[in-house]
Amino acid sequence: MSDQYAVIGNPIGHTKSPLIHGLFAEETRQDLSYTAVEGPLEPQGAFAETVRAFIANGGKGMNVTAPFKLQAFAMADERSERAELAGAVNAMKFEGGRIIAENFDGIGLVRDIERNLGLPMAGKRVLMLGAGGAARGALLPFLAAGPAEMVIVNRDVEKAKALAATVGGRGALLACAYRDLETMGRFDLVVNATSASLTGGLPPVPPSVFSPEGAAYELAYGKRLTPFLRLARNAGVRTIADGVGMLVEQAAEAFDWWRGVRPETRTVINRLTVPLD
């Protein structure tokens, strides 16, 4: 039997992960099967039972998506530093009866920005909107990329401050409220890690943060020109992108972690890309 992998979430009908991992397996000639599992929302403990049943049936690894990233974190035996900081897990490996947990969302995002879009973050001013799970996962990989300054802003500013405090000393990092952005000048890169775009909303970010020579990155994907990307474009920003590259790059990280072989991502990104306008 092929090695078994899956993505677990709820709802899960929208997932692109089986397609992405299927293309990776084809390209790298790996004998595996990758399915989508709709995880149970209740009763308490049912998610962990579903994962354990998957392991008992020979499962080798799982990706985890909303709303289970915290439950996956809780049930892991071992967690990477990235997963620890994020407080959330998006990939699990099952080995020797243990659940090893990772979070590749942030590293996938950094790879997409730096390699695919050709925008190194070293020495740049970077602004991150949001302090939820995706922002938490991105923080360490972002700081490791060496920006001159990184600012994290959230509606609930205490959440942004708490997040900044957890990584204190790893780089120039400041947490603030949206209203403070009016006086903070332009940023080379503005990343929308809020979930506002999922409902057609826009975080209260002033257009003055955008730099025409800079870039705006929207974590949501497949939604064409979101209000955030439209705001950036109207402010004259030349480089705008959505999160499809991040999605594929985090998948490639997981694939490499599981299989020990790195798939090529460009053709998969091209295949999944929905034009922004």
Q: Which residues are annotated as a binding site?
A: 15-17, 65, 81, 90, 105, 130-134, 219, 221, 243, 250
Token couple for 195: 């979930």
In the bound state with ligand NDP, the residue whose beta carbon lies nearer, of 186 and 223, is: 223
Active site residue 124: no
| Separation between Cα atoms, residue 155 and residue 132, nearest integer Å | 11
Binding site as annotated, residues for NADP(+): 81, 130-134, 219, 243
| Separation between Cα atoms, residue 225 and residue 231, nearest integer Å | 9
Which string of b and e fits 199-235 if b means at least 16 CB within 10 Å? eeeebebeeebbbeebbbbbbbbebebbbbbbbbbeb
Q: How far is the CB of 19 from ligand NDP (least distance, A)?
A: 14
In the bound state with ligand NDP, the residue whose beta carbon lies nearer, of 50 and 197, is: 197
Q: How far is the CB of 69 from ligand NDP (least distance, A)?
A: 7
Question: Tokens 């800079």 map to which residue?
Answer: 214
Q: How far is the CB of 201 from ligand NDP (least distance, A)?
A: 4
Binding site as annotated, residues for shikimate: 15-17, 65, 90, 105, 221, 250
Which string of b and e fits 109-121 if b means at least 16 CB within 10 Å? bbbbbeebbebeb
Q: Please identify the residue of the shown chain whose CB is closest to the bound ligand NDP.
A: 132
Closest by CA to 57, choosing from 42, 78, 35, is: 35
> Which position among 60, 69, 93, 124 bears the catalytic label?
69
In the bound state with ligand NDP, the residue whose beta carbon lies nearer, of 68 and 94, is: 68
Q: Taking the CB of residue 14, how many other CB atoms lie within 10 A of it?
A: 9
Sheet holding 125-129, edge to edge: 173-176, 149-153, 125-129, 189-192, 215-218, 239-241
In the bound state with ligand NDP, the residue whose beta carbon lies nearer, of 50 and 194, is: 194
In the bound state with ligand NDP, the residue whose beta carbon lies nearer, of 51 and 247, is: 247
| Separation between Cα atoms, residue 216 and residue 255, nearest integer Å | 28
In the bound state with ligand NDP, the residue whose beta carbon lies nearer, of 55 and 228, is: 228
Q: Enumerate helices (H) and strands (E) in the chain, giving the number of each.
A: 10, 12
| Separation between Cα atoms, residue 265 and residue 4, nearest integer Å | 21
In sequence order, the 6+-apart residues with CB closer than 8 A to the CB of 118 are: none
**Site of interaction with ligand NDP (CB under 6 A):** 105, 130-135, 154-156, 159, 193-198, 201, 203, 219-221, 243, 246-247, 250
Residues carrying an active site annotation: 69
